[in-house]
Structure 1
Amino acid sequence: MCVNRLNIFKLKVLNTDVNNKNYCRIKLMASFAVLLTYAASAVSQEIPQEVVSSTDFREGKSKSRMIEEVLVTAQKRTENVQDVPISVQAFSGDMLAAKGIGDPIDLPTITPGLTYSAITGFALVYLRGIGSDVFLPNGEASVATYVDNVYFPLNAGLAQSFGSLERLEVLKGPQGTLFGRNTTGGAINITTKAPSHEFEAELSASYATFDDLKLSANVGGPLTDTLFASIGVISNSADNYYKNEGPKIPGKLRKIEEDGLRAKLLWAPTDRLEAMLTLYALESESSKFNMALSEVKPVGAIALAAAPNDPYSDHTDTPQYSTTDVKVAILDADYDLGWANFKSISGWQNTEYFTITDFDGSAMPIAAFDGTAVLDSFSQEFQLLSNGEPDWLEWIVGAYYLNISEASFNPQLTPLSNDTVLGSIPVIGDLLNGLAPQATLQLFGSLETKTYSIFGQATWLITDTLSLTLGGRYQEEERTISRISSMPEIDQQVVPVKICCEPSTLTEEEVNFSPKVTFDYRPSDDFLLYGTWAKGFKSGTFNLVNILFPSNYVKPEVVTSYEIGVKSDWFDSVLRLNAAVFRNKMENSQQQFISLISGGITQLENAGSLEIEGAEFELTWLITDQIAFNAGAAYLDGIYSDFTDASGYSPGTGTYTNNLDLTGNRTVRTPEWSGNASISYTTSVPGGELEAVVDGYYNAGYFYDTQNEVSQPEYYLINARISYLHERSNIRITAFGKNLNDELYYYNRYQTDFGTLGTVASPMTSGVKFEWNY
């Protein structure tokens, strides 16, 4: 998706169009609701209506949705979460709704040790201090995301509303064997709802502060005796909570718009064969996660840039928004061979992404860029899983292929000239010399990736209580620069003169083996003790958008992890306590640095090594049949044990330098302490059930940059919800409030040549939600 730069300041959507969009959304969902109601009444003669409550933590003791037994697929087969010797937090779709979690941005409030934010439409995820803040297609995440068993290489569009989910799993630590694609920090495994063998329908609508309207619906059931289908839609919109106090540019702070559709078709011709086709499409537009200047550097001061007094004010002179268009197709087939199950998972993805950002973050016309990213990929995975024989051995073997035929980025820096402050900066001034009085820099870089891997894991039941798991993945990968250029553009005509030079190499090949060893000891059904040694690998990549210097290769990350954990149920399952201690050591951690003066918009570089030690626990306590308590906490201690010749800004002058010694600095986005707690009360009332929940989240703060200059101070959040479920109609109405203490905290902060850019999170909000299930 490309935008004519002559028109980027024109109004794209008039207010009346926005109102029409909301009207159309409501009309569409109302029609969907009528359809669901009609379908429900049509099948009511054949399918008796039942009120289905959550699976109880202790059978018959609690109706709370906050406490559930969740089955997971963390080891590629369905298991109880308490039986898996992996540190994993799992949530059903109903549990996420009960906790007020509608999109992944809120996941950290229920998952200590996780930070999840977004910038210009890209999701940035860190788990136990390991992650990536790269928002370009040449860099993949260290905490990988899988949706319906398929890996998503590009994080654009992932920070969106969930829709109808079966479950969500957060796997902590490197997952180099079974989720082996670049999972040095962990994996987020999302499973959406599959078609049911009986008719099902659900409808959800919420309205909150800032004209935040969220609508979703899902309907599914049998078409024939062997064919089942479901279709789900989401349609969301909201005003921007930032106020425009900069130049009055039409359409500058746009509404947040999300529209998505997921269709599934399940074919089960025999008891042994199932095949699922999933089609997924999402279109979104957001200016919520872009940046505004919060602190000014000397270069910015020379340009008369100024930060707003109100953190919720935007003073930029350029529209700040991004658009994402994602299309996905998945074919998942499972055949029972009797002695084993054979699975085939094929995934096709296309993502087109566009963003426009004010690089200096101020009201001055200094530097801005717009850019288009495109990703096309195909993946194929084969699995063969044991099917219970022999009972002392459980195994899985498989092969994986990924072909990213295009991962490109095409940024264009707005017109530059010698008479601006940029012309006085030596590097940029040298670039501008010899060009026309005003020129746009047009950059382009595209990568191709091919990777092949084989993997296997086996668990040997040595005794009735002791098991040994051995696993490993062998991978070969080739990264190739398919196209790269940096050229001036004058009057929309590209000047056929390259500013820079070709890289010394266009292709890099990597070979890796990531092993895993786990011992687990289970003296009783209610107690599991495990210890794991594992390695993880994240691919190397090229810097694609250099202006003045040839693109260079960034080495792959390799992490070694040690973990000891315990999972336990106490007092006849009234109390559940899971805990883990761990140590991770990573070589060549990929760190992002943002600077125009350095010769590129963003650059990746390797830190020699980092070490992170920590501990975490999660507690579930059924205080009474009606009162449930949940809590969790994580402690992290992370430092760069070797990081010399690092990029940063000189103290005092604020100018770019690449010879810093950051050894001993704390690792980025690594809060020393983070924790959550919630208490829920569920009771019967006339006609139904009342549920009240109060929860809190604490974060001790962390640094956003390797130089430890830009920080997120300590903060805490308080949320609350109260809902009424009318059992006869199965309608639930919820009133909710988020950030009730009106805490000021950030989604992101970044250093640039001009100062510190930041995006504050939403202030206090409240709203009401309607849910209906059949």
Structure 2
Amino acid sequence: MSSKNIRTLLLATASIAACSGAGTGHAQAVSPAATAEESDAGVEDIVVTAQKRSERLQDVPIAVTAISGEALTAKGVASTLDIQQVTPGLTFTTVGGTAAPRIRGVGTTQAIGGNENSVATYIDGVYYASSAGSVMQLANIAQVAVLKGPQGTLFGRNATGGLIQITTLDPKHQFGGKVSASYGNRDTIGASAYVTGGLSDNVAADLSLYYNNQRDGFGVNRFNGQDVNKGKDFAVRSKWLIQLGEDTTVKLVGDYSKYAAVTIARRLISGSLPQIGTVFTGNPFDVDSDVQPYFNSRRSGVSGELIHHFASFDLSSITAYRRTRTLLGFDGDGTRIANFSTTDEVLLDRQFSQEFQLTSTGGGVFQWTAGAYYFYGDGDLSAAIAQAPAVLPPPIVTLRVQLGQKTKAPAVYAQGTYKLTDATSLTLGARYSWETRHYNGSGTSAVGAAPPAALPPVTGITKLSNSRPTWRIALDHHIDQNILVYVSYNRGFKSGGFAATVFTGPTQTFEPEVLDAYEIGFKSDLLDRHVRLNASAFHYNYKNIQIQAFGNGPIPTVINAASAKISGLDMELTVRPTSALTLTTGFSYIHSKFGSFPNASIAVPRVNAAGMPIGGNTTVRGPATGNELANTPDWTIDLGADYDVPLGRGGLTLSGHYFHSDGWFAEPDNYLKQKPYDQLSGSISYYFNPEKTLTVTAWGRNLTNEAVAVQMQARTTGNVVQIGQGRTYGVTLGAKF
């Protein structure tokens, strides 16, 4: 079939979809003249900074999913937790309310007390080390880009799995902005405002405000009748753009946010038998817990970026300071029996970073980037941990713990791309990172009402030093201006550290994990740019994997699994037959398997002498060799459609998004599994004029009301789960000026 015939078929398909109301059952006629006029519109170019310079997405030899802020809103992506629904290969769960993203099976379970994620989060060029500060609402967003595979050369030691790169809107000299107000189910009210303008000839600034208050919970704590899984979020952010002469620009950013929620609501997994003998039944969003959960977080930061243009290169400097303080409490056993709980847990993360970078700007056959980076982090954890030696107390043993790590991590890096021919380029890059960690820990113990007694302080190794090179080798070739093929080999590593739960006795350390990633892919714009198809296949050799592990006690540690192999395929397809209709799909297949892993935590259901289940689990150390990696679905698929229907001076914008996950195992023993699930989101927006300055939007997220786990654990007392958000829907009024 010729290119012309295929294009005609796409236009016919678009006309049929329009006449059928895009699946809504309401006919919408599209005139032949309108169809012919719109047929010239193709898939728009996307500019990313995946290689720390502005480039077309289709020219970057890296697997990247990039979505604009407007597209995220239309698809119902409201927070970082939702990004997985539009990003093949990404799974975003939480542990104790903190972020636990995984890309292609690579991620971290325990990122507290100074330990960091294996998937890095950057906002406006600043690395966010705190996992508690990486779960956030997506307001004032220009773009979210997810870089897949190790990004250690340009972005550092903790980008083993990849990178979530968030860019907020830049201020403009022309006055403008937007405001919105919304009301949704669960008695949710929300509002946002963004305003920008010039303060002088060389200064532009903006201000972003966000507020959302869900006043009714998705579920109820049956123990006390109070709501669970609700929260209130407030954020403010301001960016200033200052022009100091023709060649120098300064960008200043400040942000503050506060999140107060009744979350980390854990319950027994429905149908599983706990030690107390009472099986949980009923509403999957309810809990039955003697501890009312809470999660309160305050996040703030300031950063300054200076860019100076020289004749053939740019010099940039980014200086940043961030602070995150989180107070939380939850029931570890998920029952109404006082068996194990954590209260007054405080996670305090402070960081300072400084980066200097040189980037070539001239033309020619060689483009390069070089820089130096310094990071200082101070992560502390304190908590009161109550545990019972038996299922039914007394006595209750209360531990009060204090522990933390200080991290110093300088690095230098360079990467260059040389054009071997007009169509073929070779990229070589390397980074060398040094890191030193200091650990401290102390605690007290009290039995029942007895006064607390100090525990012996930590002993053994309290200082660790790691240094590692990472590198990138890539070869790309333009078959023509619209088709790029590439192969790459990348080395990434995540530094070693201390198990940030040890507050007495010998410290426990774990080794750096290392990932060798091999990838082949292509990027293509076809049929006069009406079709965009990008795909990549990969194979990972993953060594010294950092894994959270439990003994028969309630407090986890971190160990190293010797190895794993991960192979898979990512694919993204965008079809835009007319400027009014855009169809998208994303697909991911991942085959993951542990190699040698003889000392994994294995949960074994407890039985009596007759072999009958008596509830709960015994945890032993045993082999997990051959098991799948945690939180890694075999396959996912997402489908999206956006359609614009003119109606007089106004019109309708219809958007729908479907996501399916094959499910994932919760832990390396592959005992607990999140079953396959489907989620559907969508919106219908009416605009009153062609400029779309005034809109009213009806929207819905998780319309299938799927109860999807964000965390599952097999504990001694029973199998527990924390469920994510249920169905949400509402109406938003918006205005632009």
Q: Would the aligned equivalents of 1:246 and 1:317 in 2 still touch at CA under 8 Å?
A: no
Q: Residue 512 of structure 1 aligns with which residue? A: 468
| Aligned residue identity for 1:531 | V
Q: Residue 397 of structure 1 aligns with which residue? A: 370
Q: Would the aligned equivalents of 2:75 and 2:681 in 1 still touch at CA under 8 Å?
A: no
SS at match of 1:178: helix
1:189 to partner: Cα distance: 0.5
1:645 to partner: Cα distance: 1.5
1:493 to partner: Cα distance: 9.3
Match of 2:685 among 718, 723, 747: 723
Q: Would the aligned equivalents of 1:503 and 1:552 in 2 still touch at CA under 8 Å?
A: no
Distance (whole Å) between structure 2 residues aligned to residue 397 and residue 666 of structure 1: 38
Match of 1:412 among 378, 381, 384: 384
Distance (whole Å) between structure 2 residues aligned to residue 637 and residue 418 of structure 1: 40
Distance (whole Å) between structure 1 residues aligned to residue 215 and residue 511 of structure 2: 41
Distance (whole Å) between structure 2 residues aligned to residue 657 and residue 253 of structure 1: 30
Q: How does 1:746-761 map to 2 (within 5 A)?
A: 746-761=709-724
Gaps of 5+ in 1: 1-57, 424-436
* 2:708 corresponds to 1:745: yes
1:333 to partner: Cα distance: 0.7
Distance (whole Å) between structure 2 residues aligned to residue 59 and residue 130 of structure 1: 46
Higher strand proportion (structure 1 or 2) = 2
Decide which moves more: 752-761 or 186-195. 752-761
**Shift in alpha-carbon separation, 1:99–1:336, aligned structure 2, 3 A:** same
1:544-563 CA-to-partner distances (Å, cap 9, x unmatched) read: 32366522111111000000
Match of 1:576 among 519, 532, 537: 532
Distance (whole Å) between structure 2 residues aligned to residue 754 and residue 123 of structure 1: 25
Match of 1:475 among 433, 440, 444: 433
SS at match of 1:174: coil
Distance (whole Å) between structure 2 residues aligned to residue 692 and residue 441 of structure 1: 54
| Aligned residue identity for 2:462 | L
Q: Residue 285 of structure 1 aligns with which residue? A: 260
Q: Would the aligned equivalents of 1:732 and 1:770 in 2 still touch at CA under 8 Å?
A: yes
SS at match of 1:314: coil
**Shift in alpha-carbon separation, 1:252–1:365, aligned structure 2, 3 A:** farther
1:61-108 CA-to-partner distances (Å, cap 9, x unmatched) read: 5889xx643211111111111111110011111221222222112111
| Aligned residue identity for 2:183 | Y
SS at match of 1:642: coil
| Aligned residue identity for 2:250 | A
1:419 to partner: Cα distance: 7.7
**Shift in alpha-carbon separation, 1:561–1:543, aligned structure 2, 3 A:** same
Q: Residue 383 of structure 1 aligns with which residue? A: 357
* 2:512 corresponds to 1:540: no
SS at match of 1:101: coil
Distance (whole Å) between structure 1 residues aligned to residue 264 and residue 458 of structure 2: 34
1:211-251 CA-to-partner distances (Å, cap 9, x unmatched) read: 222221111110000111111111111135443252227x6
Alignment RMSD:
2.3
* 2:563 corresponds to 1:590: no
**Shift in alpha-carbon separation, 1:331–1:308, aligned structure 2, 3 A:** same
1:288 to partner: Cα distance: 3.5
Q: How does 1:480-559 map to 2 (within 5 A)?
A: 480-481=438-439, 483-489=440-446, 495-498=452-455, 500=456, 502-546=458-502, 549-559=505-515
Gaps of 5+ in 2: 1-35, 608-615
Q: TM (normalized to structure 1)?
A: 0.86
1:532-572 CA-to-partner distances (Å, cap 9, x unmatched) read: 00100111110132366522111111000000010001111
Q: Residue 202 of structure 1 aligns with which residue? A: 178
Q: Residue 115 of structure 1 aligns with which residue? A: 91
**Shift in alpha-carbon separation, 1:493–1:336, aligned structure 2, 3 A:** farther
SS at match of 1:95: helix
1:518 to partner: Cα distance: 0.3
Distance (whole Å) between structure 2 residues aligned to residue 212 and residue 447 of structure 1: 39
**Shift in alpha-carbon separation, 1:254–1:741, aligned structure 2, 3 A:** closer
SS at match of 1:732: strand
**Shift in alpha-carbon separation, 1:230–1:468, aligned structure 2, 3 A:** same
| Aligned residue identity for 2:209 | V
Match of 1:605 among 551, 559, 564: 559
SS at match of 2:70: helix
**Shift in alpha-carbon separation, 1:729–1:694, aligned structure 2, 3 A:** closer
1:571-597 CA-to-partner distances (Å, cap 9, x unmatched) read: 1111110000000111111111356x3
* 2:573 corresponds to 1:619: yes
Q: Residue 447 of structure 1 aligns with which residue? A: 405
1:173-221 CA-to-partner distances (Å, cap 9, x unmatched) read: 0001111130110000011111112112111222222122222111111
Match of 1:688 among 650, 655, 664: 650
**Shift in alpha-carbon separation, 1:359–1:262, aligned structure 2, 3 A:** same
Q: Residue 350 of structure 1 aligns with which residue? A: 323
Distance (whole Å) between structure 2 residues aligned to residue 252 and residue 60 of structure 1: 50
SS at match of 1:144: strand
Distance (whole Å) between structure 2 residues aligned to residue 586 and residue 422 of structure 1: 44
Distance (whole Å) between structure 2 residues aligned to residue 164 and residue 317 of structure 1: 39
Q: Would the aligned equivalents of 1:306 and 1:362 in 2 still touch at CA under 8 Å?
A: no
Distance (whole Å) between structure 2 residues aligned to residue 348 and residue 485 of structure 1: 28
Q: Residue 696 of structure 2 aligns with which residue? A: 733
**Shift in alpha-carbon separation, 1:137–1:252, aligned structure 2, 3 A:** farther
| Aligned residue identity for 1:260 | A
* 2:332 corresponds to 1:359: yes
Q: Residue 91 of structure 1 aligns with which residue? A: 67
Q: Residue 165 of structure 1 aligns with which residue? A: 141
Distance (whole Å) between structure 2 residues aligned to residue 186 and residue 546 of structure 1: 29
**Shift in alpha-carbon separation, 1:62–1:181, aligned structure 2, 3 A:** farther
* 2:389 corresponds to 1:462: no
**Shift in alpha-carbon separation, 1:467–1:254, aligned structure 2, 3 A:** closer
Q: Residue 726 of structure 2 aligns with which residue? A: 763
Q: How does 1:13-412 map to 2 (within 5 A)?
A: 61=39, 68-248=44-224, 253=228, 255-294=230-269, 300-301=274-275, 303-304=276-277, 306-370=279-343, 371-389=345-363, 391-404=364-377, 406-412=378-384
Distance (whole Å) between structure 1 residues aligned to residue 398 and residue 271 of structure 2: 25
Q: Would the aligned equivalents of 2:221 and 2:292 in 1 still touch at CA under 8 Å?
A: no
1:406-449 CA-to-partner distances (Å, cap 9, x unmatched) read: 201112113x56786467xxxxxxxxxxxxx6552111111000
Q: Would the aligned equivalents of 1:157 and 1:284 in 2 still touch at CA under 8 Å?
A: no
Q: Residue 672 of structure 1 aligns with which residue? A: 634
1:121 to partner: Cα distance: 2.8
| Aligned residue identity for 2:69 | G
**Shift in alpha-carbon separation, 1:549–1:659, aligned structure 2, 3 A:** farther
Q: Would the aligned equivalents of 1:487 and 1:494 in 2 still touch at CA under 8 Å?
A: no
1:4-45 CA-to-partner distances (Å, cap 9, x unmatched) read: xxxxxxxxxxxxxxxxxxxxxxxxxxxxxxxxxxxxxxxxxx
**Shift in alpha-carbon separation, 1:118–1:655, aligned structure 2, 3 A:** closer
Q: Residue 595 of structure 2 aligns with which residue? A: 641
Q: Would the aligned equivalents of 2:658 and 2:680 in 1 still touch at CA under 8 Å?
A: yes
Q: Residue 22 of structure 1 aligns with which residue? A: none
Distance (whole Å) between structure 1 residues aligned to residue 662 and residue 673 of structure 2: 11
Q: Percent identity?
A: 29
Number of residues paired by the alignment?
Answer: 692
